[in-house]
Chain A
């Protein structure tokens, strides 16, 4: 029991410290950011967004959002997908 408790603590600590590192990633404050955070950060840290900037065209960001949904199975509804793509184009586009 004690070992299990310690293991759980260690796991919890590891998860928290990873999250703390990720929190240093600050995307631009702009309309749609909440949808980006809510829909994208379940599967990956948000540094993937600025890393891929500023060189994608509007069509390029549309393709990235479509890839996340169609190829990687991200459960994002159409309305949110449009808000996310518009945010990316406006803030991290070419």
Chain B
């Protein structure tokens, strides 16, 4: 949706600063050559605190918070199906993040719904039949900062997401070694990171047994052919293709099979969406209440990465509108692009298909024949008929933002 504010700010950062009378944000002072192009709809305080910052082993990412570290990828890093490891976003809930020693690290698998506990080191994992999948990891709250009205949390823009080729061991194969019993209803996932205070609930999650046992759910020890970066879960993390990042437990230390619904804070209170408002298919029945349910599969979505709002384009020359699209693993059927503010839509060309859990690239050429503003939009549809929201679906924690984007390009 084009608001008066976004039109005003589309004219560029200069008019934005002049118009609001704000102090010059540090990103312009310190990084004058690399404007962050943060959407004007993000909270003003987020935009003034965001800076490009470089974590060890990473390229500069957009810092939203230093500790626990929450850093998103600039959209320039999201133009390809695969996001390089050093450009991949970083998201932590709690501040005590140990550097895990791969030599002594063990993954424990057991629980009341297993017949025994087994422990595997990193080299042990590599003895299992490996599986690979190209899959998008997207934070549940990606784009939270664009919710209207704003809701508290990490005020993400568009970049709390990345897509990698993951290699690892099926969760099912690991659970088999512990003798998983049919009474198992959930698998609890725990990692090495924790809060500074021991009173802070550890970031511990659970998956319904049916999802844990799917062929593509794995413990990954490789990301794009390399060991996982520390900031993305070294030495191994859970990968749940199609589902939001909250289940992709980093620095995984245990898989625990249980017979009753897991009661932890991060399942019972956090990461919940109102029941019945979203078109999600995947059910997490053992955790559902009368009013809400854990977030599960990602909603269909797209992102224009070729241009930012307010970009200048050449009148009479071919402009390529390009970007990425994805869904919760049902497969995309098409991406349409509008260059007239949504009046007419044209099917865009899709890039190589890397499987249903991967990002899909799209592109469409057009020639602006009239000087001035051209409102460009993209809309993805998946094979089960879901499309992006045209009206925001409000929810307390700001999840599942998949509103159709509208960028104004200026032809001159």
A14 nearest CB neighbor, chain B only: B56
Question: B199 to A43, Cβ gap below 8 A?
Answer: no
Tell whether, in the assembled complex, residue B269 and residue A54 are in contact, meaning their CB atoms are under 8 Å apart. no
Binary flags per residue of B187-220, CB closer than 8 Å to A gives 1, else 0: 0000000011111110000000000000000000
A22 CB–B CB distance under 8 Å: yes
Establish whether residues B45 and A92, one from each chain, have CB atoms under 8 Å apart when the complex forms. Answer: yes
Given contacts A44-B67, A71-B265, contact A51 B197 (CB under 8 A): no
CA distance A52 to B154 in the complex (A): 8
CB neighbours of B63 from chain A (8 A)? 47
A51 touches B65 (CB 8 A): yes
Which of A1-32 touch B at CB < 8 Å? 14, 18, 21-22, 24-25
Q: Distance (Å) between the CB of B363 and the closest chain A CB?
A: 34
CB–CB A54/B44 < 8 A: yes
Number of interface residues of A (CB under 8 A): 28
Q: Is A37 interfacial (CB-CB < 8 Å)?
A: no
CB nearest to B54 among chain A residues: A21
Considering the chains assembled together, what is the distance between the CA atoms of A71 and B201 in angstroms? 8
Interface size class of B (residues with CB under 8 A): 20 to 34
Least Cβ distance of A28 to chain B in Å?
A: 11
Does A38 touch B at the CB level, under 8 Å? no
Partner of B66, one of A14, A22, A43, A52: A22
- A43-83 interface code vs B (CB 8 A; 1 in, 0 out): 11101111111111000100010000001111100000000
User: Are A53 and B45 closer than 8 Å at their CB atoms?
Assistant: yes
Tell me whether A21 and B53 are in contact (CB under 8 A). Answer: yes
Tell me whether B45 and A64 are in contact (CB under 8 A).
no
CB neighbours of A24 from chain B (8 A): 26, 51
Among A22, A53, A64, A75, contact of B67 (Cβ-Cβ < 8 Å): A22
12 residue pairs A–B, Cβ–Cβ below 8 Å: A14-B56, A44-B65, A47-B65, A51-B45, A51-B49, A51-B64, A52-B43, A52-B155, A53-B43, A54-B44, A55-B150, A92-B45
